[in-house]
């Protein structure tokens, strides 16, 4: 038997089956509702392409929305004093250092801090404990912790530390470009990455989003072997800047998170992958 030819025929059959199921999905799509059969067929296509999904597939097919932002200038001196102490040294316009601690302001709205040394114990093994600790620290740094929600919590075996990731929240939507990413171990804070622009309001636009199932079929079937842990929607990616008012805008995007912590982002308006 010609196994090479048989393999090619089998691959071709799977390809044709995917096209047929995709047509079925399209025919099942209603104006404001995605049927359960559409979801079931999507799950079948994913499994046939060795993509495992362990979460519900969102059914939203409504309008796209635009989030309006404004730059939020950080108090560099206040943050440097709290994280480095009073005896820090400024290196250039945006870098500060004291001993094993380094602080760099990546923009007027964000900074990165890391400490390779030892300091006072602040370690906590609980998610809620991390929330309490960061809430108090945020007050001292002058950052709006109340506009963030814990998005992920990871145990890191190397270094015996934990990592907590927070994403911005505004009027019930996730704001992916606003985040706090912090790692701590028994000796204290090891690193903080922070970025925040102030949301002002959300407006609708006359463009329908691409359903999540379409993104899953057309994009994620290119990654056989992955395990999808979560599919959700939020704002990401600056699309326009008003130079006079320094106002920024961005639209909705689909986020797909995998079991190994990787995140994929796609514009909800056209399915284009985003960084």
The answer to whether 29 and 211 are in contact (CB under 8 A) is yes
Longest dimension (CA), the chain: 78
pLDDT digits (tens, 9 = 90+) for 67-85: 998 888 899 999 999 999 9
Quote the CA–CA distance of 66 and 259 in Å, as a whole number: 30
The residue among 160 and 106 whose pLDDT is bigger is: 106
The number of distinct structural domains making up the chain is: 2
Tokens describing residue 154: 């990871």
Mean pLDDT in residue range 22-36: 55
Q: Which of 210, 192, 209, 199 is nearest to 238 (CA)?
A: 199
For residue 24, the SS3 value is helix
CATH code for position 188: 3.30.310.160
| Residues 98 and 149 placed together within one structural domain of the fold | yes
d(CA 2, CA 13): 17
- In the predicted structure, residue 18 carries a pLDDT above the cut 90: no
* Boundary-marking domain end, from 196, 231, 252: 196
Look up the pTM and report it: 0.81
Asked if residue 86 and residue 40 are part of one domain, the reply reads: no
Compute the Cα dihedral for 29, 34, 36, 39 and give only its sign.
positive
pLDDT at res. 231: 97
Residues 88 and 189 in one domain: yes
Range of the domain at 52: 3-68+200-274
Give the pLDDT score at 30: 36
Give the distance from CA 61 to its chain's centroid.
Answer: 21
CATH number of the domain bearing residue 29: 2.40.128
Same domain, 210 and 270: yes
Mean pLDDT within 181-205: 89
Q: Of 171, 196, 221, which residue sits at a domain end?
A: 196
Q: Are residues 206 and 253 in the same domain?
A: yes
Q: Which of 155, 180, 196 is the last residue of a domain?
A: 196
Same domain, 89 and 175: yes
Q: Do 98 and 116 fall into the same domain?
A: yes
Percent of the chain scoring above 70 in pLDDT: 80
State residue 73's pLDDT score: 86
């Amino acid at each position: 038997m010609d196994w090479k030819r048989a393999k090619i025929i089998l691959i071709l059959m799977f390809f044709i089956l995917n096209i047929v199921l995709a047509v079925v999905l399209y025919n099942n799509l209603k104006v404001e509702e995605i049927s359960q059969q559409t979801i079931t067929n999507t799950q079948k296509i994913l499994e046939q392409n060795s993509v495992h999904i362990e979460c519900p597939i969102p059914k939203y097919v409504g309008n796209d929305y635009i989030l309006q932002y404004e730059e939020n200038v950080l108090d560099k001196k206040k943050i440097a004093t709290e994280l480095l102490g009073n005896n820090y040294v400024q290196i250039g316009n945006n870098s500060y250092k004291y001993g094993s601690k380094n602080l760099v302001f990546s923009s007027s709205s964000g900074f990165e801090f890391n400490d390779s040394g030892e300091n006072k114990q602040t370690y906590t093994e609980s998610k809620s404990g991390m929330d309490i600790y960061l809430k108090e620290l945020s007050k001292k740094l002058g950052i709006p912790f109340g506009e963030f929600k814990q998005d992920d919590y990871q145990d890191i075996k190397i270094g015996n530390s934990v990592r907590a990731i927070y994403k911005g929240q505004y009027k019930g939507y996730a704001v992916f470009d606003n985040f706090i990413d912090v790692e701590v171990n028994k000796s204290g804070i090891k690193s903080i990455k922070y970025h925040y622009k102030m949301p002002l309001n959300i407006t609708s636009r006359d463009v329908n989003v691409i359903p999540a199932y379409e993104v899953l079929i057309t994009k994620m079937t290119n990654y056989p072997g992955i395990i999808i842990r979560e599919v959700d929607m939020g704002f990401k990616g600056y699309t326009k800047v008003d130079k006079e008012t320094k106002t920024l805008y961005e639209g909705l995007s689909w986020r797909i998170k995998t079991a190994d912590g990787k995140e994929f982002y796609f514009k909800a308006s056209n399915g284009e992958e985003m960084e």
